[in-house]
Amino acid sequence: MNQAPSPNLADPAPSPHDALQTQDGRASAPLLTVRSAVYSYGSELALQGANLQLAPGEILAVTGPSGSGKSTLMLVAAGVLAPTAGQVIFNGRVISDDSEGERSRLRRTEFGVLFQFGQLVPELTAGENVALPLLLDGAKRQQARAAAGLWLERFGVADLIDVRPPDMSGGQSQRVAAARAMVTEPSVLFADEPTGALDTMSGEAVMREIVRVAREAGTGVMLITHDAKVAAYGDREVLVRDGTTNELSINLRNGDDR
Amino acid sequence: MSSPSLATSLRLAASGGRSDHVRIGITAAGAFMTTLLFFLAASVGLIGPTDGPYRFEVLNQPGLRPGVIISLLLLTVPTLIFVGQCSRFGAPARDRRLARLRMAGARPRDVVRIVALETGLAAFGGSIVAAVAYFVGRRWFATEHIATITTETEIGSRGILLEEVNATVRYAPTDVLFPAWIVVALVAVVPVLATGFSVLALRRVVLSPFGVNRSTPSTPPRLLPVVLFGAGTAALMSFSAVVRLLDLDRRAFPLVALTGFIFFVMIATGLIIGGASIAAATGRFIAPRTDRPSILLAARRLIAAPYTSTRATTSILLAVFIGSAVQAVRASFLAGTDPEDTFYATTFSLLNLVLVAAIVLSCASLAITTTEAVVERRRTLAALKAAGTPRRTLAASLFAETLVPLVPSVVLAASAGLLSARGVFGSRVSSWSDERGEVILVDVPLPVATPALLGVCAIAVSVLATAASLVPLRRSFDHAELRTAA
Amino acid sequence: MSTGHVLMGLLANADRHGYDLKHEHDARFPASRPLAFGQVYAALERLGKKGFVGATEVENADGPNRTVYRLTDEGRRELDDWLRRTEEPSPFVANPFAVKTTLALLAADRDTAIDFMDRQRATHLERMRELTRRKLDPDSSLSNVLAADFALAHLDADVRWLESALERITHLEQEVQP
């Protein structure tokens, strides 16, 4: 039972110009690359040389035990945190040296972020929550609301458009939050334990929707989870351990079973 | 069944985190200010016939001392509101701690006792320090010196002799004697009020082991404040005309004064309740119309929590209302007196100073409320920031949340104060400054500049207070909020 | 758990031929070993002797007569009894990869063991991804989804065990060494 299936190969020393094998074996330039990223919270070193690559439309699971640095890796990759050392490259451009304002704009337009819970503004309706990123980018109210309705529908919660988050279930909130993360049609969706606060069935339903919508929209997903069952929704897995990405799982050699 | 020992309750009351310590600190600071003001007011009230004279004229004339005392007591209104507001600081964290105590077996009244102890002791600490500070300050300012003052001497039964004399004076009534019971009462009043308030505030709160549920009315009344405010203002605006028409002026002065006061309280109550109503109404008007995310966020928040955003601005509105009324009274007084005599002008200027101080103090409460609102929502704000929302959008929404309901409220408060005081004191007053020494009627100018200045000052200080809350807004973008489950 | 009880369960809602029973079983339990026809008939015979199952000859116009089996009242009682009895939780300690992990620690160095475990995890994950894809397929039947759920839950348990084993190796290595 230890025969490894067809491996997903990546160059052990990733570079933004390297080709990357996606699931269907098609080679493409990576959309997002994190190279030798180091990040410290004060004296605590959360990342000590992490690498990863995400191909366009790929669903990449980033796993590891709690405290391994996987959330920090996501925040660095998403440009929320600027790495202490190392680089983040998006579409061939180094974004880790950008100013906070530029990275904010990038997050607003090219990235979507989804957290475990507590990200919706409780006073806004679901429709307004989803429309918010569009309004931030200068869209008109009617236009933003129409788009919000569309994305709520894609996540199966169109009927919640005028409902406020405190009146929603956990699963509904996550669907609305996912709709908000996707409303700008980002290239990358960053999802940090998106089902962490949900029970098994609603968690499964939310993951099902996220995967389906991301595949339809061709959005790459960086899925942060400690749960192997959630990681199994991905095309590929990167293991984070003690602030470093596991080379073995990035560069998964054929596990020969001698 | 026995209650936990005092020592245990004390330890539990002091066992909170950083925000609990801050709350205890600012409660003590508020109590310090209030008690100090009480001591100052009491020292004026205790001036006996053998005390004095003082450098400040208003203290030498017994007829003016009540005005000084009232002004000082007026200042304790915003500081008392501040003490009350302090109990809100770090409330979510404290509520979680209380729920955990309930889960661990504490009864609701044990929890109430802990809260009451915390507030009461913090306020008591502040009051004690205030008493010490007062008596130390008394010695500090006790030095006597020679200055020119005006003395009043009654001559016979009708006349008063005013003389300018050089005398040994003190700056302030540092020579009055405080009976011990007054000192005890003054030290006790703020802690007792604060404890009473915190216990009262918890009465509407369900202290369950799963959390603390505050039952706040979500929709403020719409009609009641309009009726109170509108009827009160209309009544006072036509007050002197009606009084003259019915010729009540001489016959039933106490009744007339009482009626006027009741209308005045009606307007003030209308303003207090109406603040939240205005907030909710403007929110409801703006929310479905705006394209701007910052305004949308603010408007929705005003609808969801109208009391939260307006609670702290209540005392600002009252100060503007009273202040504008004072401007009208001032105009009326100055129109009827000799322009050479600067006494009234100076006294009213001092009163204006007190009003500005009251507004500044009120804004301390506002700073606490807005800061607390930011801290309470830090997770949502951090998530918005991570999703690329610029900080200026969030800052703008916080400013809008304060200013959108405040600006119309300030305009209403200022107009009401001005017009009702003018209605009571009349737009024409008798003056003696005729060339032939005859009494003539002069028009009272409508003072627009000073009430406007007062309103602008109130709004400006509110902006500063809100700006202070942006400091934790910066800190709230700490990514740690996103990594840990709250 | 006996084949007899499984067949009785399948007969609970409808009477069936032995042939149907085999196919029904294989379709319902895709993760189980398919039944042989001999097994089915032997089990039905045993059930008949106990009076749990009754057999009726049915005329077949196209070919030879076939026997249709049905659950008797006694069989229904036995089935109900059996359904109420819980199964002994089966320990999976003898799983080959678990044995191998322990042996890798004993017989090889720590890095080899960790390398093995990492690759074993990746192998598990690949299988889990495949099962998840099957679950996400809108055409999957409920039986298939349930079977995939079952397999996923067990593979997930394996992965968790691997993770805790790795934690123990890094923290308590000396205790495993001989």
| Cα–Cα–Cα angle for A162, A163, A166, rounded to 5 degrees | 155
The answer, yes or no, to whether residue C82 has pLDDT greater than 60, is yes
What is the predicted pLDDT for the residue at A191?
A: 94
pLDDT grade for B74, boundaries at 50, 70 and 90: confident
What is the predicted pLDDT for the residue at B441?
A: 74
Of B183, B126, B461, nearest to B323 by C-alpha is: B461
The answer, yes or no, to whether residue A256 has pLDDT greater than 50, is no
pLDDT digits (tens, 9 = 90+) for A29-49: 889 999 999 998 878 888 988
pLDDT digits (tens, 9 = 90+) for B82-106: 888 787 777 777 777 888 888 888 8
Residue B461 identity (one-letter amino acid): V
Mean pLDDT within A17-31 = 57
Strands A111-114 and A188-192: parallel
CB pair distance less than 8 Å for C128 and A228: yes
The answer, yes or no, to whether residue A221 has pLDDT greater than 90, is yes
Asked whether the beta carbons of C65 and C21 are under 8 A apart, the reply is: no
Model pTM? 0.75
> Which H or E run includes B466?
helix B449-468
Asked whether the beta carbons of B413 and B323 are under 8 A apart, the reply is: no
Q: How far apart are CA A188 and CA B123, in angstroms?
A: 54
Contacts of C97 in chain A (CB under 8 A): 1-2
Contacts of A118 in chain B (CB under 8 A): 379-380, 383, 486
CB pair distance less than 8 Å for A228 and C122: no
Tokens matching residue A143: 């236009």
Where is pLDDT greater, at A245 or A182? A182
B53: cis peptide before it, omega within 30°? yes
Tokens matching residue C5: 């009880």
CB pairs under 8 A between A and B: 90
Shortest Cα distance, chain A CAs vs residue B281, angstroms: 15
Q: A48 has which bridge partners?
A: A38
Tokens matching residue A48: 């000590």
> Which H or E run includes B191?
helix B180-203
What is the predicted pLDDT for the residue at A3?
A: 41
The answer, yes or no, to whether residue B218 has pLDDT greater than 70, is no
- 3-state SS class at A38: strand
CB pair distance less than 8 Å for C119 and A253: yes
> Which H or E run includes B416?
helix B391-425
The answer, yes or no, to whether residue C29 has pLDDT greater than 90, is no
Contacts of B482 in chain A (CB under 8 A): 71, 75, 115, 192
Nearest CA in chain B to A107: B388
pLDDT grade for B132, boundaries at 50, 70 and 90: very high
The answer, yes or no, to whether residue A187 has pLDDT greater than 80, is yes
Q: What is chain C's length?
A: 178
What is the predicted pLDDT for the residue at C91?
A: 60
Nearest CA in chain A to C136: A208
Q: A84 has which bridge partners?
A: none
**Concatenated DSSP letters of C81-139:** HHHHSPPPPPP-TT-HHHHHHHHHHHHS-HHHHHHHHHHHHHHHHHHHHHHHHHHH-TT
CATH number of C3-84: 1.10.10.10
Q: How far apart are CA A210 and CA A194, in angstroms?
A: 9
Query: Buried (b) or exposed (e) across A183-207, using 16+ Cβ within 10 A?
Result: bbebbbbbbbbbbbbbeeebbbbbb
Token match 């609990």: residue? B20
Q: Is B247 left (phi over 0), alpha (psi -120 to 50) or beta?
A: left
What is the predicted pLDDT for the residue at A222?
A: 96
The yes/no answer to whether this complex scores an ipTM above 0.85 is no
- 3-state SS class at A238: strand
CB contact A248 to C (< 8 Å): yes
Q: How far apart are CA A50 and CA A34, in angstroms?
A: 7
The answer, yes or no, to whether residue B486 has pLDDT greater than 50, is no
What is the predicted pLDDT for the residue at A59?
A: 95
- 3-state SS class at B153: strand
Q: How far apart are CA A93 and CA A110, in angstroms?
A: 13
What is the predicted pLDDT for the residue at B478?
A: 56
Of C89, C100, C44, nearest to C71 by C-alpha is: C44
Q: Mean pLDDT score of chain B, rounded to an integer?
A: 80
Strands C53-58 and C66-71: antiparallel
User: Rg of chain A over CA atoms, in angstroms?
Assistant: 18
CB contact C149 to A (< 8 Å): no
Contacts of A120 in chain B (CB under 8 A): 380
Of B279, B278, B287, nearest to B305 by C-alpha is: B279
What is the predicted pLDDT for the residue at B435?
A: 62
The answer, yes or no, to whether residue B246 has pLDDT greater than 70, is yes
Of B406, B383, B405, nearest to B394 by C-alpha is: B383
Q: Mean pLDDT score of chain A, rounded to an integer?
A: 83
Cα A207 to chain centroid distance, Å, stands at 12
Shortest Cα distance, chain A CAs vs residue C33, angstroms: 16
**Concatenated DSSP letters of B233-259:** HHHHHTHHHHHHHHT-TTTTHHHHHHH
What is the predicted pLDDT for the residue at B483?
A: 54
Shortest Cα distance, chain B CAs vs residue A233, angstroms: 22
What is the predicted pLDDT for the residue at B433?
A: 55
Of B52, B46, B67, nearest to B185 by C-alpha is: B46
Q: How far apart are CA A232 and CA C69, in angstroms?
A: 43
What is the predicted pLDDT for the residue at B481?
A: 57
What is the predicted pLDDT for the residue at B446?
A: 81
The lowest-confidence range among A170-184, A233-247, B471-485 is B471-485
CB pair distance less than 8 Å for A81 and B388: no
Where is pLDDT greater, at C115 or C156? C156
Token match 């009350």: residue? B84
Q: How far apart are CA A133 and CA C72, in angstroms?
A: 66
The answer, yes or no, to whether residue A257 has pLDDT greater than 60, is no
| Cα–Cα–Cα angle for A162, A168, A171, rounded to 5 degrees | 120
Percent of chain B with pLDDT over 70: 84
The answer, yes or no, to whether residue C176 has pLDDT greater than 50, is no
Of A48, A43, A53, nearest to A68 by C-alpha is: A48
The answer, yes or no, to whether residue A4 has pLDDT greater than 50, is no
Mean pLDDT within B392-404 = 89
Q: How far apart are CA B285 and CA B273, in angstroms?
A: 19
For B82, what's the count of Cα atoms within 13 Å in the CB-facing half-sphere?
28
- Averaging pLDDT over each range in A128-137, B347-356, B445-454, which range is the top one? A128-137
Shortest Cα distance, chain A CAs vs residue C104, angstroms: 12
Backbone angles phi, psi at B192, to 5 degrees: -65, -45
Ranges of beta strands (E only) in B36-158 are 145-155
pLDDT digits (tens, 9 = 90+) for A108-158: 889 999 988 778 998 899 999 999 999 998 889 999 999 999 999 999 999
To the nearest 10 degrees (0 to 180), the angle between helices C73-84 and C37-50 is 110
Asked whether the beta carbons of A58 and A22 are under 8 A apart, the reply is: yes
CB contact A111 to B (< 8 Å): yes
Residue A136 identity (one-letter amino acid): L
Q: How far apart are CA C154 and CA B264, in angstroms?
A: 75
Which residues, at least 6 apart from C19, have a Cβ–Cβ distance to it below 8 Å? C37, C66
- 3-state SS class at B149: strand
